[in-house]
Structure 1
């Protein structure tokens, strides 16, 4: 194989691994910092900065040293890729730094932790890979102009970037999981190394021996160990089923997303609160849409005659939940789609829409936590329909996020009441029961009770009459 052809293959494979590195970094950090534009921007910014520095540093190397530099860079890249991006190391890094910075203002912010991870782990790897393009420009023959050589090299690397995005996210992580994706990218870099080494040199056996050791460690950390840790890893989540004294927990991205009782098939307290609010009415034949499938526990006990439709962005959550958590088929239909996209395009109206969307323990996807999204939920309800929302916030509304989220929900929906799982000064599950907003809500339908009128007594008496009517139909109030 000619030197020029080798260089073309290396540039293509390096671009593929570099782009795969971005996708894997974003995916591996989701369980610890969530998924948001802020997280993605930090990772991409650090990636581009390290890439630019790699381009510059590679251009400063003497031409006679390019082969040796590339070999050493590829060995270091395999080590960093296989070890530094493994779930074991990522978990150790974020949990350790969270413990060290606990209680320290600003430094305890997860975004700071993500920046440090990107700076200390991902950036050196990108720096090594970024040197590939300028170093391989030395392989261009004398008949090729510098501009043509540079254009060819960057074009091949960019084509590799495009292929890396598609192959890593759509094929490797989807069908094989994150661990295999990391290991395969390490193998790709190992192929580049094999094309670069001088097979007649006595030092080559040491280089290959070191590389083989790193590949073995990478396989162990990313394939063997995660197989024992998780029921499945997908482009979106890590799934794990853990024992509980009263049943089982379904853990998604380090969050105990669902619980199911061993005997009664009941779920977490907030799920039972939701059930009470939903099934207080006769739901026979009614249509319930659940945005955020979790462990499908809302209908695990019984459906009360309702037609459940679960929607989640991850198509693999259904077989994982059925095989490892529920140990039976789900009760209802399942649609793999983005929540906002589905509501925008389906056109169907629902009797109840349940919103329970999270990327990790406390992070709601940004596009499903805005006034526009909750308004879309309202417009997708039937006139008498209701929205049931699970919002992790501070029940005292003592921080800006909790206060703004409460205000946003109440502006987009109508007549909201809440039930909470605790009143401590921390994040808890707040369940909102809201009605569809209509044009009548813009008119003032409530007024103040004043000392100089008898309205409060009259209205209270009329309300008491309605309560007695319910009691006459077998209902009870105040637990009586």
Structure 2
């Protein structure tokens, strides 16, 4: 008597449907984070909203599908659900940005601001996919309700695992958001056809071809090369963020998740375009000797390039995103050399593993809505302190407001740095209370320098740049009694950033202009 072998196994159509629904729903969930991040950031509140909406939509789909499974469950009905899902994905590809922006006017607290967009954009297709599992359980060849439902849950979960890993490790690093949407849309169309073959009637064939054409057309028309900020030169999804290089006149700007990060004058590449990058030179007035510098965070590499070109120093850069490094090499004239070394690793990991001693460590890895908490804590500040020379300096480029509710992150970070270093200085980069770059400088020297002493050093020392205007932004220590000390076991960075959601981020340009990002 012949026994069945595992290699002889062929999945049934309901099993295929459940597996693909798991792949697609989890893939769309991860993709949602990338699509809403430019508008609402990628904080824990955004991700919590995404997860909650997907679970709610799936649950409602399960409930409705369960009610109608006995009377409506069929391969043909599941095919219709996949086609409707693909059709909505086509809408997302073509009009996702419009849908996203249309929800920003809802009068919600900042931490809930992304909810309407997530519900509108991803609720309907996820709800439709929720019908698949109860329909598949009804059509299952397994004996008994328990065995059928357990089998469906297992196959659907395996599909979700595949969708999670494939989207995270394969699709997002390699493809644009629109193309990834196209992949899931065509996968849904292909599954719809597979569920009814070989008995595909004329209406089913026409619907499948029509949805596929709409998907391809939407994906083809999505990237027009124009953004409100200027001409899009390059755009990609990295493993960490959305990356755009945008030209406006002679200024080339690097945007990460929709926020301006670095800028370069194409005709004068080493000129400081953003005012805050001039502050990188301030530590040269606070110490007598700088031989080796570490930048944590590269972006457009404005600071590292200037230090390597202007001073007789060795510059190391720890940039976690290799595609940021690639973009800097291709579009921002980054060239490694004997005194400029780029390491594609996280800043904290680099500090743990390096055996070099630094005279200056510049932390330039913070954004308005996305801050790696592991670079904010007392433990990190102590690690940096251990890697600094006896007269070494820590420089942190924060994005926050100097006063008011939106200043919580700045004041908490100041308190944390102040716990480790004898002297801490603050330099806001604009004369407003808007969200802006605030430069915090910490020294191991017990003696505190006054604004007048710094101005005198600026006049006396030749460091190749006049910093008198920057020194004039010298501020007294802020009030920190009402903000937390950030520790590895408790660093509520997302809560501290929350008051900045929806506020303008003002980046001063050296010509007196300002780049404003919402």
TM-score class, shorter: 0.7 to 0.9
* Structure 2 counterpart of 1:395: 402
Whole-Å separation in 1 of the counterparts to 2:102 and 2:419:
40
Change (3 A) 1:176 1:50: same
Q: Distance in 1 between matches of 2:125 and 2:458?
A: 68
Change (3 A) 1:2 1:344: closer
Tell me the equivalent position of 1:300.
305
Q: Are 2:271 and 1:266 equivalent residues in the alignment? A: yes
Q: Distance in 2 between matches of 1:467 and 1:323?
A: 38
**Per-residue deviation, 1:24:** 0.7
Counterparts in 2 of 1:164-179, with a 5 A limit?
164-179=163-178
Q: Is the 8 A contact 1:29 1:90 kept in 2?
A: no
Distance 2:253 2:422 in 1: 34
Task: Give the counterpart of 1:368 among 372, 375, 378.
Answer: 375
Match 1:326 to one of 333, 345, 348: 333
> Match of 2:359?
351
Q: Is 2:458–2:468's contact at 8 Å kept on the other side of the alignment?
A: no
1:456 is matched with none
* SS of the residue 2:214 aligns to: helix
Shift of 1:108: 6.0
- Deviation track 1:318-365 (CA, whole Å, cap 9, x = no partner) reads 111211232755872222223334434546543221111235x44423
The equivalent residue for 2:86 is: 78
- How far apart, in 1, do the equivalents of 2:217 and 2:456 lie? 71
Instruction: Return the offset for 1:389.
Output: 0.8
Structure-2 separation of matches of 1:264 and 1:174: 28
Note if contact 1:179-1:226 (Cα within 8 Å) is conserved in structure 2. Answer: no
1:409 equivalent to 2:408? Answer no
**1:390-439 deviations in Å (ceiling 9; x for gaps):** 111222356451433433332343311122211212112111111249xx
What's 1:420 paired with?
A: 428
Does the CA-based 8 Å contact 2:414-2:440 persist in structure 1? no
Relative distance call for 1:338 and 1:218 in structure 2 (3 A) is farther
8 Å contact 1:397–1:403 — kept in the other structure?
A: no
Task: Indicate if the aligned counterparts of 2:277 and 2:303 stay in contact, CA closer than 8 A.
Answer: yes
> Which of 319, 327, 331 is 1:312 aligned to?
319
In structure 2, C-alpha distance between the alignment counterparts of 1:129 and 1:431, rounded to whole Å: 48
Residue 467 of structure 1 deviates from its aligned partner by 10
After superposition, the Cα gap between the structure-2 partners of 1:18 and 1:299, relative to the gap in structure 1 and judged at 3 Å, is same
Against the structure 1 CA distance between its residues 376 and 124, is the aligned structure 2 distance closer, same or farther, given a 3 Å change threshold? farther
TM-score (norm 2): 0.76
Structure 1 residue 135: deviation in Å?
A: 0.6
**1:145-294 paired onto structure 2 within 5 Å:** 145-197=144-196, 199-221=199-221, 229=232, 230-261=234-265, 262-263=267-268, 265-267=270-272, 268-278=274-284, 286-294=291-299
State the superposition RMSD in angstroms. Answer: 3.6
Unaligned runs of 5+ in 2: 1-7, 470-518
> Are 1:257 and 1:295, in contact at CA under 8 Å, matched by a contact in 2?
yes
**CA distance, structure 2, for counterparts of residue 349 and residue 413 of structure 1:** 17
Q: 2:304–2:317: 8 Å Cα contact kept in structure 1?
A: no
Contact 1:231 1:320 in 2 (8 A): no
SS at match of 1:326: coil
Say whether the 8 Å CA contact 1:180–1:223 is kept in structure 2.
no
CA apart distance, 1:313: 2.4
Q: 1:19 corresponds to which residue? A: 26
Matched residue, 2:66: 59
1:392/1:8 CA distance change after superposition, 3 Å: same
C-alpha distance in 2 between matches for 1:219 and 1:467: 56
Native 8 Å contact 1:283 1:305 kept in 2: no
1:126-175: CA deviation from partner (whole Å, max 9, x where unpaired): 1111221111112222x623222222211111111111111111111112
Structure 1 residues 213-248: Cα deviation after superposition (integer angstroms, max 9, x where no partner): 332234225567699844333232232223345532
How many Å separate the matches in 1 of 2:325 and 2:318?
A: 10
Separation in structure 1 between the aligned mates of residue 86 and residue 292 of structure 2, nearest angstrom: 51
CA contact (8 A) 1:36 1:365 kept: no
| 1:300–1:327 distance in 2 versus 1, CA, 3 Å | closer
2:182 and 2:247 map into 1 onto residues whose CA distance is 30
User: Number of residue pairs matched?
Assistant: 447
Structure 2 equivalent of residue 451 of structure 1: none
Bigger CA radius of gyration = 1
- Partner Cα separation in structure 2 for residue 144 and residue 226 of structure 1: 57
1:178–1:235 CA contact under 8 A, matched in 2: no
CA contact (8 A) 1:83 1:217 kept: no
Match of 1:454 in 2: none
Instruction: Provide closer, same or farther for how the CA distance between residues 302 and 339 of structure 1 changes in structure 2, counting only shifts above 3 A.
Output: closer
Q: Tell me how far apart the structure 2 counterparts of residues 435 and 400 of structure 1 sit (CA, whole Å).
A: 22
Rounded Cα–Cα distance in structure 1 between residues aligned with 2:206 and 2:458: 83
